[in-house]
Amino acid sequence: MAISSLKYKSAGRGPAVVFIHGFCEEKSLWKDFLNHFQSDYHVITPDLPGFGESPLNTIPVSMEYFADEVRNLLKDLSVKECVIIGHSLGGYVALAFAEKYPEMLKGFGLFHSTAFEDSLEKKENRNRTIQFIEKNGVDPFADSFVEPLFFMRNRKNLKEEIEMMIETTKNTSIQSIIETTKAMRDRKERIDVLKKTEVPVLFIVGKDDGPVPLEKSLEQCYLPKHSVVHFFSECGHMGMFEKREETLKAVEKYLELCI
């Protein structure tokens, strides 16, 4: 049996809930969620391969590979069923997991994420990101990448969170960033996963989200048989910080529905 190399935090007892971080993030992104939900659930927050404390053992990487690693971790923890909620890249992984291991899911959530593949323009932007990092390194990329993820009027009040995320990005290896950027660029569309799933699907949508525009979220959120959709105004791509209490409450109600 495959053994996962993922580092993770785990707290609480009860039904399992897995929170998967996004690109250039790590498990501490979900600290407030782990603290909030551990009284009622077994909360698991892994570091994806190449991020946080988890090693990057395989190249090239893919969403399917990330999903397999999460599955291996759940097997190691004797978790047979769970709800998975993924932020951005983590949502891509949740979709790949839902496609490969639907029998293990009681629900899954796209937290500022999408089932659509990258547009041609987005693919070109990924390529430019790779070229920039290869030429200039990780630090200049981190300084330009993080702040635009937040809605402009939220940035002053969330300066500490922005600095934390910049530091996290700078601590991520150049290889992990480049390989994961390629994997996001090349990932397949998973709209059919949304259409075919039998479990409730959560959508957390920022109306001012740059990486996942509102119109793309509107195109996908009605597709599952059972959707739970929350739209947040004056919120960019980082609702767990920008709308902390509101997103906690949204996830809380969703978990009560699934479990």
Q: Is the peptide bond before 60 cis (omega within 30 degrees of 0)?
A: yes
Position 4 confidence tier, pLDDT thresholds 50, 70, 90: confident
Separation between Cα atoms, residue 126 and residue 181, nearest integer Å = 6
- Per residue in 44-97, pLDDT (tens digit) is 999 999 999 999 999 999 999 999 999 999 999 999 999 999 999 999 999 999
- Per residue in 176-232, pLDDT (tens digit) is 999 999 999 999 999 999 999 999 999 999 999 999 999 999 999 999 999 999 999
What is the phi/psi pair of residue 8, to 5°?
-160, 165
Separation between Cα atoms, residue 136 and residue 124, nearest integer Å = 18
Residue 14 has pLDDT above 70, yes or no: yes
Separation between Cα atoms, residue 107 and residue 255, nearest integer Å = 8
Q: Confirm if 187 and 117 have CB atoms less than 8 A apart.
A: yes
Tell me, what's the pLDDT at 1? Answer: 55
Tell me, what's the pLDDT at 19? Answer: 99
Residue 38 has pLDDT above 80, yes or no: yes
Taking each helix axis from N to C end, the angle separating 174-186 and 89-100, rounded to the nearest 10 degrees, works out to 60
Tokens at 233, concatenated: 């105004």
Q: Which residue's structure tokens are 């430019």?
A: 128
Residue 6 has pLDDT above 90, yes or no: yes
Separation between Cα atoms, residue 164 and residue 178, nearest integer Å = 21
- Cα angle for residues 254, 20, 54 (degrees, 5° grid): 160
Position 2 confidence tier, pLDDT thresholds 50, 70, 90: low
- Going along the chain from its start, the domains and CATH numbers come out as 8-119+188-258 (3.40.50.1820)
Name the strand (E) or helix (H) holding 44: strand 42-46
Q: Confirm if 81 and 17 have CB atoms less than 8 A apart.
A: no
Averaged over 231-252, what is the pLDDT?
98
Q: Confirm if 176 and 56 have CB atoms less than 8 A apart.
A: yes
Which of 62, 130, 126 shows the shortest CA–CA distance to 100? 62
